[in-house]
Amino acid sequence: MITIIDYEAGNIGSILNMIKRIGGKACISGNADEIRIAEKLILPGVGHFDYGMLQLRKSGLSEALQEAVIRDKKPVLGICLGMQLMTQRSEEGVQPGLGWFNATVKKFQFSDNEVKLKVPHMGWNHVSLVNKNSRLFKDMPEDPRFYFVHSFYASASDPAEVLTTTQHGLEFASSLEKGNIYGVQFHPEKSHKYGIRLLQNFLDI
């Protein structure tokens, strides 16, 4: 059973539907006690970094997540803003993140000397697999592409935590992995066969 965390900052319905579509069991919860005892967790997210962190702390979910993920080593998948909240901090706000990844979140900014691309980075884009032993990308269809919608990206300080990279004017970490903690900047629930494979792999972990 996967518990999808409801902290009023995520598009949780489409994630729930996709997991059910591939035969997985999932529920939605914003209850800290239920988060503590969950088997696996998905931290979704759409919106502002500070709002997301304040919602997690106000509801007691931040503490519950630290216990479940760091103490009890429950597998967790962060999606879009959910992954960004797993980093140290973001240029989008002043709140500290959960601190699980040694990374900071930066805004796409292109100088006059660079090719200026649209922000937000929106639509399909390729990912390059860095950690070829990752269970999250096991048996992934060839030439994986995922659907992105974001104006901020993760800049990883530890190359060992980078799972995939993507190009959008610059190379950024489009997914991160550290032990039982996984984060993806893209939306697997909107990424057809590639997203289905990734979510199936998370179910199998």
Q: What is the largest CA-CA distance in the chain?
A: 51
- Yes or no: domain 2-204 corresponds to CATH 3.40.50.880: yes
* Residues with catalytic function: 80, 187, 189
Indicate the DSSP class of residue 138: T
pLDDT in tens, the chain (205 residues): 999 999 988 779 999 999 999 999 999 999 999 999 999 999 999 999 999 999 999 999 999 999 999 999 999 999 999 999 999 999 999 999 999 999 999 999 876 655 667 889 999 999 999 998 999 999 999 999 999 999 999 999 999 999 999 999 899 999 999 999 999 999 999 999 999 999 999 999 9
Residues 6+ apart with CB under 8 A from 31: none
- pLDDT for the residue numbered 10: 75
Q: Cα(49)–Cα(67) distance, rounded to whole angstroms?
A: 21
Q: What is the pLDDT, as a whole number, of residue 110?
A: 76
**Total-model pTM:** 0.95
State the SS3 of 28-56. EECCHHHHHCCCEEEECCCCCHHHHHHHH
Q: Give a three-class secondary structure readout of 55-97.
A: HHHHCCHHHHHHHHHHHCCCCEEEECHHHHCCCCEECCCCCCC
**Total length of the chain:** 205
Long-range contact pairs involving 115-122 (C-beta distance under 8 Å, separation at least 24): 115/169, 116/169, 117/168, 117/169, 119/151, 120/149, 120/150, 120/151, 121/148, 121/149, 121/150, 121/151, 121/153, 121/168, 122/148, 122/149
Cα of 185 vs its chain's centroid, Å: 5
Domain ranges within the chain, ordered by starting residue = 2-204
